[in-house]
Amino acid sequence: MPLSGNASLAAFCAALAVAAPQPGFAAEYYAGKTVEMIVGAGPGGGYDIYARAVARHLGRHIPGEPTVVVKNMPGAGSAKAAQYISNIAPKDGTSIAGIMPGAIMSALLDDRSAPPFDPTKVLYIGTANNGVRVCVTLKGTKIANMDDARRVKAKFGSSGPNDSTYEYGNLHRHTSGALWDMVTGYRGTPDMALAMERGEVDGVCGWDWSSFKSQKPDWLRDGKANVFMQVSLEPHAELTRMGVPTVFKYVDNDMDRKVVELVISQTIFHRSYIAPPGTSAQQIEVLRKAFDATMADPVFLADAEKIRIDIDPLPGAKIQDVVARLFATPKEIVERARRAIR
């Protein structure tokens, strides 16, 4: 027999009361505990800067106010940290990781038969920024814009597979006609910036715009840099005001455009934080609510402004859905994208 409107509402509210995390439980559970935040990158880079900023404020928004401790675990473009979270970390709500989007995409775009973790199984807490990446050279070098890059040979710095500086650099070679060669092995963008200043490489692509502004504010302030291409699904307002063209200006056919869209869709989950598969729904809800509250916290936002990082968050449930849809991409486009980033 169907329930009446009032009865249906009462049943719905009762279900919510059972499903929703109870503040008393959470406070009792987390009080006196330590939450580890694993950073899938080395110290001093953009992902480390973001994670430490989040960690300074996240604990205040978890009932019971646990201590949040940051631990760096670089390796394989954050895949090492993601693998730790998936297979080793405790599944009790006390371990999360900040990872690069390349670690998520590599499971889709890498042709290995057994990726180190399943991005559709880890649980997404949220992302601090869904951002944009840029291609950068220094003033006075032979590459001032993308037209130069399509007619003059150059060297561009990168880390290695799963890192945006490697995959975006190759992507633009294969879909936009860039003539640069990739120089691999740099630990992060701070090292690549130093290599640019020394003349070892001509530039970098796939540099997070927010990280660039945080790491090299003097390059912008003193007019030292050519920021010559922005790479995101939608134009970035600040870069557009600066006159920086989007990647799609240089993509000449529909299939290449689909490949570019697939690869750069990772900017939607730009600074993602994940928890282990098997963590209880109640603990995930506590962590997601705490993360969302942190992203809206005026004290956190003032801290972010002070250290020059952009905050443009998305909730964990939305990222979970985006990742699931990405992994349903038609095989033909996935295969072509795999070739483009290598």
pLDDT tens digit sequence for 295-325: 999 999 999 999 989 898 999 999 999 999 9
Q: Which helix (H) or strand (E) holds 156?
A: strand 155-157
Residue 220's CB: how many other CB atoms inside 10 A?
14
What are phi and psi for residue 143, nearest 5 degrees?
Answer: -115, 105
Q: Do domains 5-130+270-328 and 133-266 have the same CATH topology?
A: yes
pLDDT value of residue 112: 65
pTM exceeding 0.85: no
Highest-confidence segment of 19-23, 55-59, 159-163: 55-59
Quick one: pLDDT band at residue 2, thresholds 50, 70, 90?
very low
User: pLDDT for 73-113, tens place per residue?
Assistant: 999 889 999 999 999 999 999 999 999 988 898 889 887 66
What are phi and psi for residue 102, nearest 5 degrees?
Answer: -60, -30
Paired strand residues for 95 = 36
What are phi and psi for residue 61, nearest 5 degrees?
Answer: -100, 0
At 61 the three-state DSSP class reads helix
Residue pair 143/202 in contact (Cβ under 8 Å)? The answer is yes
- Overall CATH class of domain 133-266: alpha beta
Q: Tokens 């890192």 — which residue?
A: 163
User: pLDDT for 173-216, tens place per residue?
Assistant: 999 999 999 999 998 999 999 999 999 999 999 999 988 998 99
What does the DSSP 8-state code read for residue 110? -
CA 82, distance to chain mean position in Å, is 13
Residues across the chain? 342
Mean of the per-residue pLDDT values of the chain: 90
Quick one: pLDDT band at residue 162, thresholds 50, 70, 90?
confident
Residue 64: left (phi > 0), alpha (psi -120 to 50), or beta?
left
Domain-by-domain residue ranges, the chain?
5-130+270-328, 133-266
With a cut of 50, say whether residue 146 has pLDDT above it.
yes
CATH topology of domain 5-130+270-328: D-Maltodextrin-Binding Protein; domain 2 (3.40.190)
Q: Which residues are CB-neighbours of 71 under 8 A, at least 6 positions away?
A: 36, 37, 38, 39
Residue 12's CB: how many other CB atoms inside 10 A?
11
| Rounded-to-integer distance, Cα 97 and Cα 94, Å | 10
Residue pair 23/277 in contact (Cβ under 8 Å)? The answer is no
Alpha-carbon separation of residue 198 from 29, 42, 192, 262, 318 (angstroms): 52, 22, 10, 34, 42
Residue pair 251/97 in contact (Cβ under 8 Å)? The answer is no
